[in-house]
Structure 1
Amino acid sequence: MWIICELPVCWLFFSVSLSLVVFSVVVLITTWQKRSPGLSLPPGSMGWPWIGETHKFYSEDPNVFFATKQQRYGEIFKTHLLGYPCVMLANPEAARFVLSTQAQLFKPTYPKSKETIIGPSALFFHQGDYHSRLRKLVQGSLSPEAIRFLLPDINSRVISLLTSLEGRTVTTFHEMKNLSFDVGILAVFGRDLDDQCKEELTKYYCIAEKGYNSFPNRFPGTLYSKAVAARKKLEEIMRQLIQERRQGRMEKNLLSVLMSSQYNNGVTLSDDQIVDNVIGVLFAARDTTASAMTWIIKYLYANKKLLESIKEEHASVCRLGEGSDCWLSWEQTRKLKLTHRVIMESLRMASIISFTFREAVADVEYKGYLIPKGWKVLPLFRNIHHSAEFFPEPKKFNESRFRESPSPGTFLPFGSGVHACPGNELAKMEMIILMHHLVTKYRWEILESSSDIEYGPFPIPKGGLPAQFFRQSSKEDEQLKEIA
């Protein structure tokens, strides 16, 4: 009896709510038409009121979702995702317009829940003077000179990881995450970080990361509430580190650069700003690089001829007598032309960053269309990378396409403009060092050959690429065995 009485009330509430949503949409459309006469919105569909097409976006492969839209509506189209009206841009010229030539008309935008986990002062939530200053600091601490200094440590960490994998069945993506986080910790805190502090940072970072992309529900016990609590622990650890390093000698690394930075008038960054930016760099450094390295391992395994060519290239740069124990020097990494091309093609094929979010800060006209103020704008990197117009046979792995530089704006694995990834050189060096020690010392077997892709949120092979890694005997080892 209670249920029968309750249903009309629920239906009435739903009807009123739906009417309000429809009324709001009508008012918004009318407002757009009034303030921008003669301009129309890009073609496309907005889906259901309020929820838009979010359900479709998550129920389909995102690549199929965007490709289908582009095929139907063209390279500029509208939709409604994650609670926001959006304009999608799937060509290099439009991406350059948003990210470079007219970047002042579009601000970076992230959900409030993500800003809470990382910290509101992180550089990629900002633009203008503050962003420019922070970007220079981060980019400077990850410059080629800084990377050259870290090269022996990166070699050591790669060797240590690969040694731990010998003979085991592992989830490749998980192991690559461990490696990229280890290198990120090195770049941020330097060599002086003690093991206990590193373990605590790793523990709380992993909890925060699990809740970062979860539904932002602060109810106790949820992934998001645990992430918020873990973030507070990270802040406590970092504040303690800052205090300790102020009292002692500071090795040059990102943390010391942020701590010693001053404006022209002598104003320094606050501890809050330092903590937020350190956490931001750690988040930016881990999953994207780990995903790229996982795909490289998969692509090399699938192309045995290419793998043999890579082995020959790495053997050729090692000095006589070093054998398979060769640690790459800075000069040697510059000679690995094929390796660089394989990395570029892997980044194009995988398109780790499929798109980026911007928000129009004013009404913007582009190609005769209106992009209303407040709308989200998404340059679709994956669509550009997989366009046959710019990359013939885009679904085929072909590293030779990068013998020549790609056309401007067609290859954007690290973004573009003032918000491009400042750590891209470190990420690429990590990939080079991994490839070197992997192909010269190991063989591996992928246990699932499926072409399926998972998103979490970055694309990875199904199951994180389960694999087994085996140490190969060097020629020197074989000769010693023969003598014995």
Structure 2
Amino acid sequence: MGGVYVYVLIFLLSSLFLFLFMKRNEPPQKRAKLPPGSMGWPYTGETLQLYSQDPNTFFTSKQKRYGEIFKTHILGCPCVMLASPEAAKFVLVTQAQLFKPTYPKSKERLIGPSALFFHQGDYHLRLRKLVQGPLALDAIKCLVADIEALAASASRSWVSGGVINTFHEMKMYSFEVGILSIFGHLENRLREELKKNYCIVDKGYNSFPTNIPGTSYKKALLARKRLSKILSDIISERKEKKLNEKDLLGCLLNSKDDKGEVLTGEQIADNIIGVLFAAQDTTASVMTWIVKYLHDEPKLLEAVKAEQEEIRRKNEENNQPLTWSQTRNMPVSYKVVLESLRMASIISFTFREAVADVEYKGYLIPKGWKVMPLFRNIHHNPEFFTDPQKFDPSRFEVAPKPNTFMPFGSGLHACPGNGLAKLEILIMVHHLVTNFRWEIVGSESGIQYGPFPVPEKGLPARFWREYITS
């Protein structure tokens, strides 16, 4: 009888071992489970819940209920939301090959399907290197005087006595900086044509995508065709004159791949529109928030003003303009920029799509599902930023923990123009506090999303020229 028990025990242990071995080697979809969460109503999911309130309130309430990884269904897509630094790093850096960038097709049509941020792999790497070149720190050093001139030009009408839409004014400034970095000194007629048609595309970008004549989206599609024609004319002129400029357009025109092939006109146009799109609204939003934050914090405004006034006095004494080295030595102002990026979190999240079934911390992320690292949730987590709702630039006297501060994204798809964005913001701050005082008109607390968060109504404000005696 003892021998029988031994055989039974061996059989049971063998069966258990086989079960565990097979369980371990099952495909992820059989072993893992979907994250917790709610998928909402059929088709619409939780889209209405998301857009009927502050989107950040929606994401925060979900995180409190389900934890740092949860599922939902928005904009017709099943999604997995990730609200931890480790998860963001997993998707954007360490396992980035498993998650491709994804945008609605309606938005791809307006920017152009060949724009670098719609791609991954060899094409993306090639285009990223090309775009990074003229936007790298060594390349933008020579733009300081030109950007300062653009800041002065953009603000010339602010002191007319009327109320201005701060966000609108900052968008015009950012657009001009984008044009400068892409084309250098472009003929005024062409610049105005680009601006007029780009504004129509920009207005239709977040509208309902329909081809019905007269709608914002249809107008945007037509304006996008006109942009292609304008860019084609600019490219043809460059080629005819055989200009060897080192701006972004020059880099795109002179590029050849390993086979000696050049980029097509459509590829160049798509990437130029993509850079303009990436450079304008986000940077303008940050500058608008800085105007508000400095208005709301008088002591901080005085500290920034003192720093910038010292720079202004030295430049007047030496009869010189603002320099690159000075923009690299604005510690108080720079911390204000960083804290504004954290507080406002203009890019609240980014879209990726799983290219295969992926398992993360025991949860399944099915192939084809959208994956959204929630930057704002991370930036406003008290575990990483004490009293996160308080505007406190001094928190950046110590570097944030890794992967807790990602205002420009992370990994291979991080914003290649973040150096230029910071430069134009710091130049505007210098120009703003040394030349103006201002007051905000009307409500000071509301936020609107379109899609980036900006103060309500674009932050209406009234500006006066500041006359400071040395």
- Where on the TM-score scale, by shorter chain, does this alignment land: which range? over 0.9
Tell me the alpha carbon deviations over residues 31-80 of structure 1, each in whole angstroms, 9 at most, x when there is no partner.
xx997223110000000111100111111110110000000000000000
Alignment match, 1:397: 391
- Give secondary structure in 2 for the equivalent of 1:159: helix
1:24-173 alignment, distance < 5 Å: 36-166=29-159, 167-173=161-167
Q: Find the aligned partners of 2:222 and 2:36 in 1 and give their Cα distance.
A: 43
Give how far 1:321 is off: 6.3
Q: Is the 8 A contact 1:317 1:335 kept in 2?
A: no
Alignment match, 1:231: 224
- Give secondary structure in 1 for the equivalent of 2:290: helix
Give how far 1:325 is off: 8.8
Tell me the alpha carbon deviations over residues 62-109 of structure 1, each in whole angstroms, 9 at most, x when there is no partner.
011000000000000000000000000001000000000000000000
* Change in 2 beyond 3 A, CA 1:305/1:267: same
1:186 aligns with 2:184: no
Q: TM-score, normalised by structure 2?
A: 0.92
Tell me the alpha carbon deviations over residues 2-37 of structure 1, each in whole angstroms, 9 at most, x when there is no partner.
xxxxxxxxxxxxxxxxxxxxxxxxxxxxxxx99722
1:30-429 alignment, distance < 5 Å: 36-166=29-159, 167-191=161-185, 193-248=186-241, 249-318=243-312, 320=314, 322=316, 327-429=321-423
Q: Is the 8 A contact 1:324 1:474 kept in 2?
A: no
Give how far 1:326 is off: 6.6
1:444 aligns with 2:438: yes
Q: Is the 8 A contact 1:142 1:426 kept in 2?
A: yes
- Give secondary structure in 2 for the equivalent of 1:320: helix
Listed as ranges, the gaps of 5+ residues in structure 1 are: 1-32, 477-484
Q: Is the 8 A contact 1:40 1:368 kept in 2?
A: yes
Q: Find the aligned partners of 1:457 and 1:446 in 2 and give their Cα distance.
A: 22
Residue identity in the other structure for 2:46 = E
Tell me the alpha carbon deviations over residues 380-407 of structure 1, each in whole angstroms, 9 at most, x when there is no partner.
0000000000001000000011001100
Alignment match, 1:471: 465
The range that moved more, 34-43 or 376-385, is: 34-43
Listed as ranges, the gaps of 5+ residues in structure 2 are: 1-25
Q: Is the 8 A contact 2:28 2:364 kept in 1?
A: no
Q: Is the 8 A contact 2:28 2:358 kept in 1?
A: no
Give how far 1:161 is off: 1.4
Q: Is the 8 A contact 1:93 1:409 kept in 2?
A: yes
* Change in 2 beyond 3 A, CA 1:245/1:384: same
1:455 aligns with 2:454: no
Residue identity in the other structure for 1:328 = L
Give how far 1:144 is off: 1.1
Residue identity in the other structure for 2:168 = H
Tell me the alpha carbon deviations over residues 179-225 of structure 1, each in whole angstroms, 9 at most, x when there is no partner.
0001101111111x111111110010001111111111111111111
Q: Find the aligned partners of 2:201 and 2:140 in 1 and give their Cα distance.
A: 27
In the alignment of these two chains, the number of paired residues is 443
Tell me the alpha carbon deviations over residues 299-335 of structure 1, each in whole angstroms, 9 at most, x when there is no partner.
0010000011011111223453617997320011111
* Change in 2 beyond 3 A, CA 1:34/1:98: closer
Given the alignment, which residue of 424, 435, 440 partners 1:430? 424
Q: Is the 8 A contact 1:324 1:440 kept in 2?
A: no
Q: Find the aligned partners of 2:318 and 2:41 in 1 and give their Cα distance.
A: 59
Tell me the alpha carbon deviations over residues 453-482 of structure 1, each in whole angstroms, 9 at most, x when there is no partner.
100000000110000111111315xxxxxx
